[in-house]
Amino acid sequence: MTIRSKINKEILFAKKIHVFFEKISTLGSGKKSLPALRICSKLPANSFIYMSTSIQKIAILTSGGEAPGMNACIRALVRTGIYYGFEMWGVTRGYDGLIKGDFKKMDLRSVSNIINRGGTILKTARSEEFRTEGGMEKAYQQLQERGINAMVVVGGDGSFKGAYHFSNKYDVAVIGLPGTIDNDLYGTDYTIGYDTATNTVVDAIDKIRDTADAHNRLFFIEVMGRDAGYIALNAGIAAGCEDILIPETKTSIDDLVVSLKKGRANRKTSGLVIVAEGDEEGGAYEVARKVKEQFDGYEMKVTILGHIQRGGSPSCFDRVLASRLGVAAIEGLKDGMSKVMAGIINNKVVYTPLTQAAKLHSDMDDDLYRISKILSI
């Protein structure tokens, strides 16, 4: 099966929105104005523009799986909010904390010395209760009690779906920021945490290569990526892996065995195969088992990198990305935006409707996958 490459009408429309926002960002003083935003009449009513000008307090929460760079993002949000005169509040443990009223007022000292830290000082959690009408109502009441009518949600597609439905139901402006190591959100070239996670994987594979070479072993290395193979593909190329198995392509154990046998015939004494956890064959252990049934040219080992990929100090790239997006979120709220995700495309800040960011996924680079095959001979 070839990599997904067809772009449907929704994606084409979202791309037009990106271009539109890039154009209006150059108007006048360079700030996005409400009159210009109203030009987007093709979108459903209330789909992504929040017309209220009364925002004074903004809540920040991190939701779903943590990603390196979330703290840098929180820092940028708090500092930018204070710079523009907003009162900033942090919500602990994502939507669960929103429901339970776990809020704390944030000031400049609240975000001191966190830019280099992994994880999230606001913690994160998944909340089944927030999916219910009652849960959303409790969350809204908590915001009402504190006079908060705007939120920034840092997370992935599941977090954005919740934010969108919440904003539709209640008079609360919401902007999403892409915080996930999977790099699979539509509307941005990179998500916060992806660069750090990929470098963590490359560093781990480099070390595994040493022991593979010392013992003449074939290692199957499983990385995160339930629905997307960005980490596996890029780390696999960077680490010189013999093969890369990702959800976007059909895995053929027979072809993999042929490739490994060819390498052995070319006097390769060890090997590395990287497997995204969402690969259709069932992960690294299952792939290793099936290969072993057909090929015994190497002693085989399996390594699952697991949650090490979510931790660690964020890279320079992720710190800058998180800082840019934090500023973009506050400035977007200030200028009347809502129900959008701020992202980076072609090194420019763009805003994508949350409905698109939560529903669509960016396409895998066909050419990059082709290159991986050429280099693995």
The angle subtended at Cα 187 by Cα 181 and Cα 189, nearest 5°, is 55
First to last CA, the chain: 21
Helix-strand-coil split of the chain, %, nearest 5: 45, 15, 40
Nearest in space to 287 (alpha carbons), one of 261, 248, 255: 255
Active site residue 182: yes
Q: How far apart are CA 72 and CA 51, in angstroms?
A: 29
Nearest in space to 274 (alpha carbons), one of 198, 362, 195: 198
Nearest in space to 169 (alpha carbons), one of 139, 147, 148: 139
Helices of type H across the chain: 9-24, 34-37, 70-83, 94-100, 133-146, 157-169, 194-215, 230-238, 253-265, 284-294, 316-334, 354-359, 366-375
Cα-based distances in Å from 186 to 43, 294, 348, 352, 369: 17, 39, 15, 8, 19
| Diameter of the chain measured on Cα atoms | 71
Sequence letter at residue 88: M
Residue partners of 44: CB distance under 8 A and separation at least 6: none
Given the residues 96, 182, 184, 243, the one annotated as active site:
182
Sequence letter at residue 133: E
Q: How far apart are CA 279 and CA 290, in angstroms?
A: 14
Give the residue numbers annotated as catalytic, written as ranges.
182
